[in-house]
Structure 1
Amino acid sequence: MRLKRTAPIALMAVAALSISACAESERDDSGGGDSGSSDLKDTFTFGAAGAPDVFDPLYATDGETFRITRQIHQGLLGITPGTADIQPELAESWEPSEDGLSWTFSLREGVTFSDGEPFDAEAVCYNMDRMYNQEGAGQQAAEYWTYFFGSFSDDPEGSLYDSCEATDESTAVINITRNTSSFPTILSLDSFSMQSPAALEAGDANNVQAQGEGFTYPEYSTNPVGVGPYVLESYDQANQTITLTANESYYGDAPATQNIVFRVIPDESTRRQELQAGSIDGYDLPNPVDWQGLEDDGNTVEIRDAFNILYMGLNPERNEALQDLRVRQAIAHALNREQLVQTQLPEGAQVASQFIPEAVSGYNPDLEPYPYDPDRAQELLAEAGQEDLTLTFAFPTEVSRPYMPDPQRIHDAFVQDLEAVGITVEVVSKPWNGGYLDDVSANGAYDAWLLGWTGDYNAADNFLGTFFSNLNQNDFHTSVMPWGETLSQDLQAADAIVDEGEREAAYQEINAQLRDEYLPGIPISHSPPALVVSGDVEGLTPSPLTAETFDTVTVSQ
């Protein structure tokens, strides 16, 4: 059996003020392969589950778009292949000031954007200020900036970013407004990649307009200019095909394969058929039940480490019965999560005891999941006077996520569990990109729902802070709970702790409170997602963040 599992995720190598500088890049200088070799193809074709929304990573929000922009753009920091740890990318090293509010980045020299413009400190500051100075619809579209930097220049008090200074051509100083464990790590996110200032100006890059529930983007969004190993050659929307070609001015090793083609194939079973027919060389998130069959056909299934969480969210604002801890505990006891993991999730999946995976600093090893105990669930419902509880319980359609390979099957299993303890379930479903996410996040339309999260980087704040830190804008509606404000404040305080050991202890205590005192939702599982490539493919390093780069990939003839 050739199922490959990635190496265990290492703990984050750089965090907040505990690091004074970062080591030199470990980029492999041995050469990227000979894409002209007679025994290798010049194109790697990947089956994408969805079409890209925009090629300017600042406005991107989905994994299918980032899979493409990641090949074109790079940031100051990168991710060490096969891990969730940061490494040097366009910045060779970085160092904080004594108070931790100014970070000096020493930049890689001799780098140019694919349009020939120089990458230097002025370009760094242009990019940072460009993101900070978004206006109107641009602010709405730049969701990752809002998540991680807070507000924009028209609301500086709410912003993590303060300013940027180019002290010389190869030195940029980024000033921030508060200490956080997430900086500078967030600069490794695709959204904050460096782009050519000249191209941004020429393409009127900030001219984003609202249109219905979405946006229209300016010319630049179809002509992105980065420093990565590939450039965008074409996007054939009629045939749903995106073609990238090697960046001839790339500063690093030349890509091992000249071209990358992304074919948009929304249906997973169709992607498998295309792989079997040889018309694509790989695709993401094969159904776990197909893994062995794919291997038997001569393909390689690459299993990533689990760096995610599936949970059942609860809305105590919509359904006041959920404000009673006993009711939330009853739901936790009613769900047979162990059976779900064993029957529906891939080998290596685990029942979750908390809202972060084990690899993240702050994970509390002393916590156990609520045991499956339908008798106790019924007792708790009776104690709370909720023997006739009704829940509107939703799941998404037209989607497969790393933590949730088959949403309907998972939902069906939980419906049976809930009904077995006397809870009446009103089933609701909606397409993932057809209103489901809006109903969960913006509209609070359901009492309970299935959702999850794959970490962007290795920090507890990226999980817990994303879920609960903003008291008035979180999916769990903690603002109506007596402990909601305390939880929000504790998370913000933990994130600001400089000492790594103290910060870890603070998050461990918060995780214990989330399980025993708060229980705003039910952690379900951590699941190792996979991707599959043909037996002719070599050089692919799977990422626990599902953040693979393809410049090292080769395909045999």
Structure 2
Amino acid sequence: MRKTTDPTGRSAHRRTEKGEQMKDILRRHFVAGTLGAAALALLPLGASAQNSSTIVVAQAADAYSMDPAKHSAFPTANILFQIYDGLVSQNEKGDIVPALATSWSNPDPLTWRFKLREGVKFHNGEPFNAAAVKYTLDRALDPNFKAPYYSRISQIKSVTVVDDYTVEIKTDKPFPTMLLSLYEASFPALIVPPSYTAQNNSADLAAKPVGTGPYRFVEWKKDERVVLEANPDYWGGKPAVEKVIFRPIKETRTRIAELKSGGVDIAVDVPPEDMASLDGGETKISTVASDSLYFLAFDITRDTPLKDKRVRQAINYAVDVDAIQQALLNGMGMRIALTLPANAFGYDQAWKPYPYDPAKAKALLAEAGYKDGFTVPLMTRKGRYMKDSEIVEATAGFLAKVGIKVNIQYLEPGVWGQVSEKKGREGITFPGWSGRDPNLVWYPLLHTGEYQSYYSNPELDKLLDAGAGTIDQAERKSIYEKAAAIIKEDAPHLPMIQPPLIYGLDARLTWTPRPDGMIDLRKAHF
């Protein structure tokens, strides 16, 4: 067959050949009943490849809301990060760098003064200035607003406009993680336009976002695609790629098949066993050590067996996490002893996880009065994280061996968000989290009353408050060592793995993943 080139820049031969392969794959999946009608609708048979002026990103879930302060999901954040900017950002090495703020200083331990970038406009023409920063943060800090990531900025006491391009943020105590809390992964700190946001009680923003970012919103077809176009006036320079499309493709196999067929350019959460087949020819693999965490969280706010520390410890002894890591992640990632990234401030490499000891688990259950075991729900999402359902099911198998029957409930992303907003995560959950400081992980996950916390320990609360309120690094380390001892003994979580991030890419694409898992397309190009 003669090989010709189509207008998209990829070969028509590849498109035809891969399209036929895709049809065969889809037929086999359809017959087997493993690919639903929704997935078929997202992936038309014979779909042509995208051209070099478009990047198509396939991730597991659609956006929850286009309002950056009204969600707690990274698939949503990946979309919104192209539309909005924060005061500061993070580079590929994980360093905090200027964004809408060009510099910052501390006139005193309770004050952060930010100098803002001049001449920036929102996509609708509204000016970016100190008033926009104040409006954004005041809005997210309003307790009636109920921002899911409120804990990341909750130490802010007041925001004051000094002049059009200077803003001061006051805290009621020293705030050592201020910059980490203001960068774009802290979703409520993404800056929104005041006038537009106020329209229709923020409903306009939630459906049709307006930011200062490198891409402007074009359309959102729920559960199908989000389309963005390059912002020619972006303060950081117009992006090289004209259009970005985010497609929610829940099934891992479907994302990989679409990458191979040329229908997408970035596929998230490639399983380790698929790396070799994608690393060569017209696709490639890109990996980075993540800041993310795989763990089980236990609800002790309800009257269930999980309220007993011995039961939580038993679960830690009952699950062979090392075996799961080896079998499902090919040994990739890092086993964590506590729910904190091993590269985070305060993590001690000398910490050891609970060893696999099913006999000890059974003894603890009997001591707690559950010799014959019990039944508990396990709430999670499917396809949100690489190998998540397989890890959950393997965990359930280990728990069954010691008498704990787990009823797994897979929630759709939107339902998960709604349940979370109502504090409805019951039993055991597999929630996922990230953050390079205990104040960004332990505080929101374990401090009494926090949005993500289903645990309460007054002694731990005092330590977490103290760690969040001092900038002395040696003192903070000492505080978190004490907190770690409590967390290890009280076992509010089963810490598991700090996984790698594995992406499948079109071989022509130049793009560098970030350890925080945010997809940054500002410098991407073919």
TM-score normalised by the chain length of structure 2: 0.82
Which digits, 9 at most, give the CA deviation of each residue in 1:251-299, with x for residues without a partner? 2222111221223333222222211111211121123332222225542
Q: CA deviation at 1:507?
A: 1.0
The partner residue of 1:254 within 228, 238, 244 is 238
1:143 aligns with 2:151: no
The residue aligned with 2:502 is 530
Q: CA deviation at 1:341?
A: 0.7
Which residue identity is paired with 2:440? Answer: N
Q: CA deviation at 1:301?
A: 1.7
**1:545–1:388 distance in 2 versus 1, CA, 3 Å:** same
**1:430–1:501 distance in 2 versus 1, CA, 3 Å:** same
**1:437–1:50 distance in 2 versus 1, CA, 3 Å:** closer
1:460 aligns with 2:438: yes
CA distance in 2, matches of 1:47, 1:78: 23
1:413 aligns with 2:385: no
Q: CA deviation at 1:356?
A: 0.3
SS at match of 1:143: coil
What RMSD in Å do the two structures reach over aligned CA positions? Answer: 2.6
| C-alpha contact 2:151 2:450 (8 A) present in aligned 1 | no
The partner residue of 2:100 within 82, 90, 95 is 90
**1:424–1:258 distance in 2 versus 1, CA, 3 Å:** closer
| C-alpha contact 1:313 1:475 (8 A) present in aligned 2 | no
1:229-248 to 2 correspondences below 5 Å:
229-237=214-222, 240-248=224-232
Q: CA deviation at 1:508?
A: 2.2
CA distance in 2, matches of 1:130, 1:449: 30
Q: CA deviation at 1:41?
A: 1.8
The residue aligned with 2:52 is 41
1:531-546 to 2 correspondences below 5 Å:
531-538=503-510, 540-546=511-517
Which digits, 9 at most, give the CA deviation of each residue in 1:293-322, with x for residues without a partner? 222554222212131222222334545544
Number of aligned residue pairs: give it: 474
Q: CA deviation at 1:384?
A: 4.1
1:451 aligns with 2:422: no
**1:231–1:432 distance in 2 versus 1, CA, 3 Å:** same
The partner residue of 2:290 within 283, 292, 306 is 306
5+ residue gaps, structure 1, are 1-39, 151-159, 209-216, 479-483
TM-score normalised by the chain length of structure 1: 0.78
The residue aligned with 2:213 is 228
**1:317–1:101 distance in 2 versus 1, CA, 3 Å:** closer
Q: CA deviation at 1:398?
A: 3.5
The residue aligned with 2:61 is 50
CA distance in 2, matches of 1:103, 1:349: 36
Identity of aligned residues (%): 26
The residue aligned with 1:275 is 259
| C-alpha contact 2:337 2:495 (8 A) present in aligned 1 | yes
CA distance in 2, matches of 1:246, 1:311: 38
The residue aligned with 1:5 is none
The partner residue of 1:489 within 447, 452, 462 is 462
**1:443–1:247 distance in 2 versus 1, CA, 3 Å:** closer
1:7-406 to 2 correspondences below 5 Å:
41-83=52-94, 85-98=95-108, 100-132=109-141, 135=144, 139-140=145-146, 142-144=147-149, 146-150=150-154, 160-188=155-183, 189-201=186-198, 204=199, 207-208=201-202, 217=203, 219-237=204-222, 240-296=224-280, 298-318=282-302, 321-402=305-386, 405-406=387-388
CA distance in 1, matches of 2:120, 2:416: 43
**1:441–1:367 distance in 2 versus 1, CA, 3 Å:** farther
| C-alpha contact 1:391 1:448 (8 A) present in aligned 2 | no
SS at match of 2:485: helix
| C-alpha contact 1:124 1:194 (8 A) present in aligned 2 | yes
CA distance in 2, matches of 1:397, 1:128: 30
CA distance in 1, matches of 2:480, 2:344: 10
Which digits, 9 at most, give the CA deviation of each residue in 1:150-199, with x for residues without a partner? 4xxxxxxxxx3333333233221122333222324311134312233343
**1:416–1:494 distance in 2 versus 1, CA, 3 Å:** same
The partner residue of 1:470 within 441, 448, 453 is 448
Q: CA deviation at 1:434?
A: 6.2
The residue aligned with 1:549 is 520
**1:260–1:440 distance in 2 versus 1, CA, 3 Å:** closer
Q: CA deviation at 1:122?
A: 3.1
| C-alpha contact 2:444 2:453 (8 A) present in aligned 1 | no
CA distance in 1, matches of 2:158, 2:311: 48
Q: CA deviation at 1:536?
A: 1.3
The residue aligned with 1:37 is none
CA distance in 2, matches of 1:129, 1:471: 21
**1:488–1:474 distance in 2 versus 1, CA, 3 Å:** farther
Which residue identity is paired with 2:171? Answer: I
Q: CA deviation at 1:148?
A: 2.6
CA distance in 1, matches of 2:75, 2:59: 7
**1:323–1:549 distance in 2 versus 1, CA, 3 Å:** closer
CA distance in 1, matches of 2:205, 2:306: 47
Which digits, 9 at most, give the CA deviation of each residue in 1:341-397, with x for residues without a partner? 100125432222111011111112221111112233333334444322213141435
Which residue identity is paired with 1:199? Answer: Y
**1:348–1:169 distance in 2 versus 1, CA, 3 Å:** same
| C-alpha contact 1:331 1:418 (8 A) present in aligned 2 | yes
5+ residue gaps, structure 2, are 1-50
| C-alpha contact 2:83 2:210 (8 A) present in aligned 1 | yes
SS at match of 1:304: strand
